[in-house]
Amino acid sequence: MLLGYQARQSNGVNDKIYHRIVAMDDGKTQFFIISTDICLVSPSQYDKLAARLKSQYKIDPMNLWWTATHTHSAPEVGPAGLPAVFLGDRYRHDFDAKYTDLVEQKLIDGIVTARKNLAPARLGVGWGHANANINRRARDENGKTTLGMNPDGPVDRRIGMLRLEKENGSLLALIANYAIHGTVMSGENLKISGDAPGVVSEYVEQKTGVPLLFINGAAGDIAPIYSVYPSPRAGHLDHFKVLLGDKILDANKSITATTNEVTLKTGGTIVETPRKDGLKWPEDLGNYTRTTKTGVNLVRLPIRFLKINQDVAIWSAPLELFCEISNEIRDHSPFPYTFYFGYTNGWLGYLLTEEELKYGGYEPTVSPYAPGAAKTLTEAVVNYIQGEMRSNYNNARKVE
């Protein structure tokens, strides 16, 4: 069963889907980032994986980030989680436990291999730019909003790049962070595919000979410029090799400075914000909600942070975030490279700005949050980046 759009069963494979894994170790902190060609997973599925890795391999869950590329043409993995609350009719079938176990075991095998293959490396960081995406909150003359194209709407076309080199300067791996829905193909497509993120990753890998981890960004209101077509050919899927793949290659070439002196610092915080009145909550997500003494039901959002040296701040959340929120956070960050890794460690719905809520449309119907959530999240993340992360940054400079 493919996840994304209506319930439907695949009838073949258009392109292969992967776990891509990078392990980094600075001598004190060992960190893992996984990019998987799936639509999303429930936070409870991440918790299950993290508990197993902690028990068997002593991996700190704080240092384990599992991201989904958000392709809408890959099989379901694990229980439905929060989507079943909004789209109950879609989830009348049981999830495929056998396939889920396969995905989990292959992920663990990959982490073990990555850890085993740790070798001295250098790291570089940079920016790129691609016009492969567009705001999808289309408006009519009355302000009614539907899924479509809005060329005048907010967008984020930056590519955040991390380059990993071997000691001799040859390429080891690339990480590219870009906001784009994995919806080149529509629900009419029944072929398994990584959609644009997957096709772009394979293209860059063919050109460079090393893995590319595609990490989706704040794509809640961002579509590919060709979107919801019935087949790869109709959707110009291969054109994204040029539209985005070549731009990633250009961004990689622009990174001319790398260092073998790397410090990794991880952290996290819980952001609590009221959820919609009357909204049911899945049993498997009990750790992600709380009821106050006054009877207010809260969503508990786990936000993770990674600081690399003195100039890179990465934050992640299990959210389908609107891009204007991550753009504002980046604008208020003291770090020259601030990246948002979306769809990380699960999915707890769309989180959109209060301004966009009044226009309605699809996204508010699959958001569990009451108005004001964007402001709460933005303030919490900016405060953490400007406060705790920057404090560590200043202390590190004093030590040097």
Residues contacting 216, CB < 8 A, separation 6+: 67, 68, 69, 70, 177, 178, 179, 180, 182, 197, 341, 342, 343
Averaged pLDDT for residues 72-77: 98
Residues contacting 4, CB < 8 A, separation 6+: 39, 71, 72, 73, 74, 182, 183, 187
Residue 93, marked binder = no
**pLDDT over 60 (residue 132):** yes
pLDDT band at 49 (very low <50, low <70, confident <90, very high): very high
pLDDT band at 392 (very low <50, low <70, confident <90, very high): low
**pLDDT over 60 (residue 397):** no
pTM of the entire predicted model:
0.96
Residue 269 pLDDT: 97
| Ranges 74-78, 204-208, 379-383, 388-392: which has the least confidence | 388-392
**pLDDT over 60 (residue 367):** yes
Q: Burial letters for 271-309: b for 16+ Cβ neighbours within 10 Å, e otherwise?
A: bebbbeeebebbebbeebbeeeeeeebbbbbbbbbbbbb
Contact 344, 67 (CB under 8 A): yes
Averaged pLDDT for residues 259-272: 96
**pLDDT over 60 (residue 366):** yes
- The per-residue pLDDT for range 293-345, each reduced to its tens digit, is 999 999 999 999 999 999 999 999 999 999 999 999 999 999 999 999 999 99
Could you tell me the two tokens for 177?
């962070």
Distance CA 341, CA 134 (A): 18
pLDDT band at 394 (very low <50, low <70, confident <90, very high): very low
Residue 244 pLDDT: 98
- The per-residue pLDDT for range 89-104, each reduced to its tens digit, is 899 999 999 999 999 9
- The per-residue pLDDT for range 206-231, each reduced to its tens digit, is 999 999 999 999 999 999 999 999 99
| 245 Rama class: left (phi>0) / alpha (psi -120 to 50) / beta | alpha
Residue 181, marked binder = yes
**pLDDT, mean over the chain:** 95
pLDDT band at 140 (very low <50, low <70, confident <90, very high): very high
**pLDDT over 80 (residue 399):** no
**pLDDT over 70 (residue 200):** yes
Averaged pLDDT for residues 131-150: 96
Phi, psi of 197 (to 5 degrees): -60, -40
Averaged pLDDT for residues 33-45: 98
Dihedral, CA of residue 18, residue 200, residue 162 and residue 126, to nearest 10: -170
121 to each of 24, 139, 154, 314, 362, how far by Cα in Å? 9, 48, 37, 20, 45
**pLDDT over 50 (residue 110):** yes
**pLDDT over 80 (residue 252):** yes
Question: What interhelical angle do 373-384 and 323-331 show, nearest 10?
Answer: 30
Residue 376 pLDDT: 98
Sequence spans of domains, the chain? 264-399
Averaged pLDDT for residues 344-357: 97
